[in-house]
Copies of this chain bind each other. A is one copy, B any other.
Amino acid sequence: MENVPRLDRLIQRLESAEGLDDLQVAIEELRDQLGVDHLVYHWVSSNGEQYGCGTYDLEWVNRYVEKGYLRVDPVIQGCYQRFHPVDWKRLDWSSKAARQLLQDAIKHGVGNQGYSIPIRGPNGQFALFTLSHNASDEDWEQFTNDNRRDLILIAHYFNQKALELEPGRKPEQAQALSPREIEAMTLLAVGYSRAQAADTLSISEHTLRVYVESARFKLGALNTTHAVAKALSRGVIVV
């Protein structure tokens, strides 16, 4: 495993990428240059669709999806709650499902070591930039320490380009909620009933209802719970 080579040139390549294919080529080259087993960038969008590119076997990717590993993966859950890159060893693998996932992953060629960088974009976008490799704890620690900053930057530029190139993200640009709508949704998100929320805002329950309906419409949600979930995952409201 070597240090990130020619950071400047790599970032320039990323910036000049014109299609998702270019990102796939870039990630493979970077994998080779770093000398790690796998390098993956993947993005979970709020509507469930996800785009990713990387060097995992297709078989493993499909298996991961089919088995619903997304829901039990400590890497996902851990990164979702963290800001800084995280070594897989520091995550919580105590649950049975998690250990099973890890064994399965190793069996499919994912290394015993991993390092994942969480990245967040507008509208609740969340992506991971992950390295995996077979190495000793010491070597891996050394490697990740040496390259952390460059990897953070690469992940950033990678995500920037993915955001640019990702099709179908404009329609998802929902209308902004009005201040009152945001207040109403926020109160519902922290457990208030409509009556309580209306009382808190000193308006009639009917008025509050109008806000919630309006917000539901703007967010394209099917019901109040859905609307709160969408508002949260897009960062429209914060609890």
Which A residues are within 8 Å of any B CB, using their own CB?
Answer: 11, 44-48, 70-72, 76-77, 80-84, 95, 97, 120-126, 149, 152-153, 156, 159-160, 163, 176, 179, 182-183, 186, 188-193, 221-226, 228-230, 232-239
Residues A221 and B191 in contact, CB atoms below 8 Å apart = yes
CB distance from A26 to the nearest CB of B (A): 17
Question: For the complex, what is the distance from the CA of A124 to the CA of B120, rounded to whole Å?
Answer: 9
Copies of this chain assembled into the complex: 2
Complex Cα gap A223–B183 (Å):
18
* Cα-based distance from A70 to B239 in the complex (angstroms): 10
Q: Please state if B124 and A238 are interface contacts (CB–CB under 8 Å).
A: yes
- Selected from B83, B126, B188, B236, the residue in CB contact (under 8 A) with A163 is B83
Contacts of A222 in B (CB 8 A): 191-192
**For residue A84, which residues in chain B have a CB less than 8 angstroms away from its CB?**
160
What is the CB-to-nearest-CB distance from A126 to chain B, in angstroms, rounded to a whole number? Answer: 7
Complex contacts, A237 vs chain B, CB 8 Å: 46, 71, 124
What is the chain B residue whose CB lies nearest that of A49?
Answer: B238
Please indicate the chain B residues that have their CB under 8 angstroms from the CB of A176 in the complex: 95
**A124: min CB distance to chain B, Å:** 4
A83-B122, A97-B179, A186-B47 known; A233 and B239 CB under 8 Å? yes
A-B contact pairs, 9 of them (CB 8 A): A48-B190, A71-B182, A71-B186, A72-B179, A81-B234, A188-B225, A189-B229, A224-B225, A229-B229
Q: Given A122-B80, A122-B81, A191-B223 in contact, is the A239-B229 Cβ separation under 8 Å?
A: yes
